[in-house]
Structure 1
Amino acid sequence: MLKLNNTVNGDLTIYGFDSKSNDALLKREKNTAEPYVVAWNFDFETGGWGQGHYFSHYEDAEKFYHDRIYEMEKPTKAEQIKEAELLLLEIEFEAHEIKCDKEMLEELYYNVIIKSDGSTFLNEIDVEDCLDYYFEQKERKEMEAEGMEK
């Protein structure tokens, strides 16, 4: 808990702050019916904020604050789809007894699946194209390594 005095919003008590979003859980110390605030874009220098939700009870404000922070941290649908696609690729490669690290899976995802048709929905042709790409890259790296040895 941190106290700020003489801000543009009077004296404040800060119960929580999220550095990613600059959201804060505050209490305005001046006498008001809704002293608790979940403030968006809180500014420590001035004690001001862009907008907020106001509450009479701390418990209600705390729940809203934590729910808001949790929602902001959840991956987007696109991120969830990408993670599912990468997992499917990893499973397909393991079925061919090929171990791929995360970096290679990302490379396959962007250089084969996304570039092929812009779709992020994995299909049988994408898997075959990924296998081809993988073996081409592996061969290229082996040839480069052989060239360096000479």
Structure 2
Amino acid sequence: MRFSQFTLIAALAVACASPAPAQEKLPPGYTFTPELTYKNVSQDPDGIWEPSDLELFGDPPHHPDIYTARVSTPAGEWMLSQITSGCSLQSECPFQLTLKRPNGPRKIVAGGMLLRRASAVLAADYSKIFTQTYTGIETFPVEISK
């Protein structure tokens, strides 16, 4: 009896388990691989995230971490910033992509969700950014004309 109960429980656990994240390749372009830059922060030193994005969360309560990656191109310096609050159950967390043109201010040009510790790719023509998510590759438009 005990063996059949164990077998039933194991079968149910396998049937209810979530599928593994989709494994698609990112297209070619400029690659961003965010790394931990600021830990447990209530203010963003880069000025990208609003204070409301950096409020306490979790148990025990803590402020989010910020991961960043930078890439220089002929258009200017791009920075991808990702915070660890607002993440989904699949560890997809919000990101903002910014562009700082020579002699200009840094502007947010795209945003969306990206798996924690995953890479994103900016298209060679700067028109979109591709991110790795739990369900596969997502595409977000980049608005550099702002």
> TM-score scaled by structure 2?
0.31
The structure with more helix, counted as a fraction of residues = 1
**Larger RCO (CA within 8 A; separation ≥ 6):** 2
> TM-score scaled by structure 1?
0.30
The structure with more strand, counted as a fraction of residues = 2
